[in-house]
Structure 1
Amino acid sequence: MSVFSHLRVIEIGSAPAASYCARLFADFGAAVQKVEPPAGDPLRRTAPLTPGGQSAWFAFLNFNKSSIVIDANEPDASARLTTLIKDCDILVDGRDVDSADCPTTDIAAIRHVHPDLIYIEASWFGREGPYAGFAATDSTVRALAGLVKLVGPVKGPPLHAPDFQTGILAGLWGFIATASSVVARMREGTGRSWSLSIFESTLTLSEYHMFEAFACGDVMRRIGINRFWPGGPAGIYDTKRGWLGVTTLTPAQWRAFCDMLGLSELRDDPALVLAEDRLLHMERIERQFVPKLKARTAQEWFVEGLKQKVPIVPVPEISDVLLDKEKNARGAIVPVLLGEEQGLTAGSMQRLTLTPPRRGGRVPALGEQQAFASARTHPIRTGLASSGRIDVGGQPLHGIRVVDFTMGWAGPLCTRTLADLGAEVIKIEAIQYPDWFRGVDRRPAYVNGRTFEKTPRFCIVNRNKRGITLDLKRPQGVALAKRLVAGADIVVDNYSVDVLSRLGLGYQVLSALNPRIVMMSMSAFGADSVYRDCRAYGSTLEQGSGLPSVVGSLNGSPVMSHTAFGDAVGGLNGCAAVLVALIHARSTGQGQFIDLAQIECMMPFAAPWITLQSISGMRPMKYGNRHPQFVPHGCFRCAGEDNWIMIAATDAHMWQRLAVLIGRPEWAIDESLGCEKARRSIEDDIEIRLAAWTLTREADEAMSELQAAKIAAGVARLPIDLLKDEHLRSRAFLQETERGFIGLHPQPSMPIRDGGAPYAVRTAAPTLGQHNREILSGLLGLSSAEIAQLEREGIIGTVMLSDEGNAHL
């Protein structure tokens, strides 16, 4: 039986975030019923369309669901919808994004008589705050979230990826909220009500740069296509045949990269040791190594990179992704049926080994009931009987213990989210090899100055955790780790494949100690991948995903949209996967292993293009800053230096209001221009007029005028701007936290709330080994003498060892 075969999910309204949240439940067996108007969900008409006229985006979001048509004009419409909701476990509500002519219903009244209902409501910006009533699109939200301005040519305009990002990010957050509520309902017997901000969900990608800006100041600028602050090289480059993604961050990777290319002068230059120093000399560096890359193919360089342990990867076209045998075998690419058309799309990335997700499925025709929907059993009500209260309160993952063997961003974001939701997370580092987000500089000055305790990025992704140090290369450290796992529910690691196994902490060993343990490996390519030994960062994952091939101008190079896109996405998918397995373990007592390949987690962002090419055989068209459906659409310069605004006209009425606003009322009354295809024929003229209008206005002034006319627009913000964003401030999104070595610093809230306020940050990120005594004594019962002996032997400690210190061990 599938993990969620006992759950019934109702989806109302029209929002990609709501659809993706519900689809993740369908992936694991829930009966998901999508309520649509007689004309169908507007997303059914979203470009790109297949040769048969089916939306590839809608297909990705909705396969394995059923469709129920309710006409809001019918007298019994509200009663029918209310009856549906009263009989479901989870209600996913996208009406605030687009009501899709959904009948009215009183959710509060339903929850009063059905207190075990889990409810989540998605909106662009939340119910309150200066942006709450804004017209929005995926691209305008990403602009406001700091994800557009830093990408593209130095002189502009900024570049952005196609409109398939905010719905996936917010859908993952919606699933995390609702799945954690399923865990809580098993304990409490009562459901929860959540609000989800799509804008704040998107900030998951921005938070790294936001808090680096907090530490470093206003230093980030757009520095060219496939170049990013804070260092590099971290971009995409041409080779003899094919494009190559390169990321060299550590000094060792830089030296190895230079050795590969025969560039000893660059390798030995003391001014280029650290990635942030290399950024200052990137023109000179690229002039020397870019011609060298033309000597071999991308695949040949990849093989050499494996030998040298340098994170480089071929950058595939969508056609390459479709032909990837490994991704097809693992279920990262799955068959999908769209009416009479057969294609492929991105599958579930939550690779549970004992209870795997469905592999593909059928997109429901309007009003079509899938066969498996009727096979649903009666909802399982486990745990306490309902108290009759609408909200029990407290944190949904209270009582769950997590042993955290993660470093960097992706793994720690996964475990931070579990901690934010109430889990007890014990982070394990070692003084010999602490979390590299503390810094990779091992020189004595860095260590002696405790600089490893002063990096904001570490503090952001490790709050609400307790931290200990254990040298896992020694038997005593391994033995103590095993004792922690014996009493835990979840183990997470994002080391390279087999690292924990070689240390004696593999799944077979740990599951023998604790059969209900859920263990997730978050490797870059997957445990069974032929690329399993490839070093990777978030940039490597984006480079290898296929997404860059559909970003940018028609004949231009593949374009990365974020220097570490893959990390945040991997972290959210990892959290979602762990929650599915945890629900299964709490129901059955069976733990399992999760083989999460972070590169696969990037594939949903290219899913519509995968489907389109799988059916048509045609290479996906690149639109630059234009849009396959909205005209006009783009990023336009405003008054001042490097100020830009994203604008989109999403329908004929919005177009008419825009034409009047920019002083072309004759366009508004021209009925022929009500059609997007007609406007496409004069798109150049429209953009010239629109650019002339925005150039006379400050960016925020332009946004204010456009939004007053209900036209989708968003200022292209820098990450540092988000620290003082008026909307985020009004919603208390940034929380002030005190921590040793840093002092008072801001922390981002989760974008999901089960009340008016965000979940509070309870504790700051641990200093190295901060909770050694507390955990070893209080949890494992070690004596003071035993702990002192561990300290003397260097198995635990509170100070990172420098290269000198490690050499003396």
Structure 2
Amino acid sequence: MTTRREDPFQYPLTGIRVADFAWVIAGPLATQYLAVHGADVIHIESRGRPDVLRSGEPFVGGPPGPDSTAYFANVNQGKRGITLNLRHPRAVELAKRLVATCDVVTENFTPGTMAKLGLGYEALREVRPDIIMISMGLAGQTGPERHYKGFGTVIQGSAGITHFVGWPDRPPVGTGVAYTDFVASHIAAFAVLSALEYRRRTGRGQYIDLSQQEASMYTLDAALLDYTVNGRVQTRQGNRHPFAAPHGAFPCLGEDAWVAIEVRTDAHWRALRAAMGDPEWAHDERFATLLGRKANEDELEACIAEWTRHFTPQEAADRLRAAGVPAAVVASARDLHADPQLAYRGHFLNLNHPVQGGFPYDALAYRLNGRVPTPPRPAPLLGQHNAEVYQELLGLSRAEYEELEAEGVFR
């Protein structure tokens, strides 16, 4: 077994093993959190149908290929990886042998897929009675829309997110990424941890039915509650906010350079005036109150933009924050990698991938007693740990392993 590098820190999930059948982002990111905290996560794919994310850009370390995608590598840190052709009649038995050694099974296929393969929850309970299994379907495992297929760009529509992204006089545009995957993954990880604690107390496993749609609805802020309480349907507001003015991104010196500003209180407004040198236009009575600023928001934003465009985003943000105005640089990817705050906290970790080499990966957003939990290894190559898992963990002889390999079981 590949071991975690020498580290005196006691990782809380050491001794927990996960059979990770999930793919793309929502499932693998959830299990990456488990791996970083000590769980032995075994990511299961097939060479005929590898994880979709292995075809995702950007690629590094050579031509595009399943082992050169940084996208896959960034959400599968710390795992072992095997291939198993679940369409082969001998593969299901091997999958069950693996599950018998595991504490958790994860999957996010279309509902019913695992059961058709002979790997549904009830079948897996026969080989591991206290198994914890989580299914992360688009809309969950029950209901009239349970069989609908889609990725995060679709789920954000059904979760109500797309409706709110854009400008009030234009069609909704969505986020452009699989936004919901990065929400559902956190809730999935929490659900698994809860089930592990429940099993520790009771000795009983559990089946977790997670709906990515429902998980993502938490991002709607008060909009859903506003309809529940008042029957009011909120819509797109661009960068504006009902309880703040100004509230948005303002142009700065440089190409595609912006600063974000939020003024909610009269104190914020006075601080903004001071930061700008208290210009004459700011004395206009129309801007004296929040209601007045909201009523004249177009003119207000134009005046502020005339001031911000004379500074770089960092210069503008520094001036505003020094005066007591909530403000921040609208950061690009380049800005984030150069951010001194992120550098101080050690947000980016360097892992030496066998194909991609060493480059910064996202670390966790929290520290445990001041420590950054670090993964034991980079993301696995496709089928990298086949011999290790099938022979050392499951006990196949070399002859048995080679026979199954020749039959295409590990394809």
Q: Verify the 8 A CA contact 2:264 2:290 in the aligned structure 1.
A: no
Q: Does 1:420 align with 2:36?
A: yes
Residue of structure 1 equivalent to 2:169: 555
Q: Verify the 8 A CA contact 1:515 1:589 in the aligned structure 2.
A: no
Q: Which amino acid aligns with 1:407?
A: W
SS in 1 for 2:66: helix
Q: Could you tell me which of 743, 749, 752 is aligned with 2:357?
A: 743
Would the alpha carbon gap of residues 796 and 622 (structure 1) be closer, same or farther in structure 2, given more than 3 Å must change? closer
Q: Which amino acid aligns with 1:662?
A: M
Distance 1:723 1:395 in 2: 28
Q: Which amino acid aligns with 2:292?
A: A
Q: Could you tell me which of 220, 229, 246 is aligned with 1:606?
A: 220
Residue of structure 2 equivalent to 1:409: 25
Q: Does 1:398 align with 2:398?
A: no
Residue of structure 2 equivalent to 1:756: 370
Residue of structure 2 equivalent to 1:629: 243
Q: Does 1:513 align with 2:127?
A: yes
Equivalent residues in 2 for 1:633-648, closer than 5 Å: 633-648=247-262
Distance 2:134 2:45 in 1: 17
Equivalent residues in 2 for 1:33-52, closer than 5 Å: none
TM-fit CA distance, 1:423: 0.9
Distance 1:449 1:641 in 2: 31
TM-fit CA distance, 1:674: 6.0
Q: Does 1:467 align with 2:81?
A: yes
Alpha-carbon displacement from aligned partner over 1:561-589 (angstroms, at most 9, x marks no partner)? 24210111121111111112221111111
Q: Verify the 8 A CA contact 1:659 1:667 in the aligned structure 2.
A: no
Q: Verify the 8 A CA contact 1:404 1:491 in the aligned structure 2.
A: yes
Residue of structure 2 equivalent to 1:545: 159
Residue of structure 2 equivalent to 1:436: 52
Q: Does 1:698 align with 2:306?
A: no
Would the alpha carbon gap of residues 770 and 592 (structure 1) be closer, same or farther in structure 2, given more than 3 Å must change? same
Alpha-carbon displacement from aligned partner over 1:351-389 (angstroms, at most 9, x marks no partner)? xxxxxxxxxxxxxxxxxxxxxxxxxxxxxxxxxxxxxxx
Residue of structure 2 equivalent to 1:712: 326
Q: Could you tell me which of 386, 398, 402 is aligned with 1:784?
A: 398
Between 1 and 2, higher relative CO (CA 8 Å, sep ≥ 6) is seen in 2
Distance 2:187 2:375 in 1: 22
Q: Which amino acid aligns with 1:708?
A: A
SS in 2 for 1:758: coil
Residue of structure 1 equivalent to 2:197: 583
TM-fit CA distance, 1:468: 1.2
Distance 2:254 2:337 in 1: 21
TM-fit CA distance, 1:509: 0.4
Equivalent residues in 2 for 1:213-232, closer than 5 Å: none
Equivalent residues in 2 for 1:254-273, closer than 5 Å: none
Distance 2:354 2:117 in 1: 32
Alpha-carbon displacement from aligned partner over 1:742-796 (angstroms, at most 9, x marks no partner)? 1112111000111323112320111111111111122111111111112211212
Q: Which amino acid aligns with 2:261?
A: I
TM-fit CA distance, 1:607: 4.6
Q: Could you tell me which of 595, 607, 610 is aligned with 2:209?
A: 595
TM-fit CA distance, 1:437: 1.1
Distance 1:497 1:661 in 2: 56
Q: Verify the 8 A CA contact 2:172 2:236 in the aligned structure 1.
A: no
TM-fit CA distance, 1:669: 7.9
Distance 2:54 2:77 in 1: 14
Count of residues in correspondence between the two structures: 400
Q: Could you tell me which of 136, 142, 145 is aligned with 1:531?
A: 145
TM-fit CA distance, 1:724: 2.8
Q: Verify the 8 A CA contact 1:662 1:689 in the aligned structure 2.
A: no
SS in 2 for 1:728: helix
TM-score, normalising length: structure 1: 0.47
Distance 1:761 1:518 in 2: 23
Q: Which amino acid aligns with 2:34?
A: L
SS in 2 for 1:577: helix
SS in 2 for 1:619: coil
Residue of structure 2 equivalent to 1:493: 107
Distance 2:56 2:143 in 1: 28
Alpha-carbon displacement from aligned partner over 1:337-356 (angstroms, at most 9, x marks no partner)? xxxxxxxxxxxxxxxxxxxx
Equivalent residues in 2 for 1:87-486, closer than 5 Å: 394-439=10-55, 451-486=65-100
- TM-align CA RMSD: 2.3
Q: Verify the 8 A CA contact 1:656 1:668 in the aligned structure 2.
A: no
Distance 2:78 2:95 in 1: 20
Distance 1:682 1:663 in 2: 21
SS in 1 for 2:155: helix
TM-fit CA distance, 1:393: 5.1
Q: Does 1:773 align with 2:382?
A: no
Alpha-carbon displacement from aligned partner over 1:138-172 (angstroms, at most 9, x marks no partner)? xxxxxxxxxxxxxxxxxxxxxxxxxxxxxxxxxxx
Distance 2:237 2:24 in 1: 34
Would the alpha carbon gap of residues 729 and 538 (structure 1) be closer, same or farther in structure 2, given more than 3 Å must change? same
TM-fit CA distance, 1:623: 2.7
Q: Verify the 8 A CA contact 1:732 1:757 in the aligned structure 2.
A: no
Q: Is there any run of 5+ residues in structure 1 with no aligned partner, and where?
A: 1-391, 442-447, 798-809
In the TM superposition, structure 1's runs of 4+ consecutive aligned residues that sit over 6 Å from their partners are 666-672
TM-score, normalising length: structure 2: 0.91
Would the alpha carbon gap of residues 440 and 565 (structure 1) be closer, same or farther in structure 2, given more than 3 Å must change? closer
Distance 2:64 2:401 in 1: 23
Distance 2:279 2:85 in 1: 71
TM-fit CA distance, 1:514: 1.5
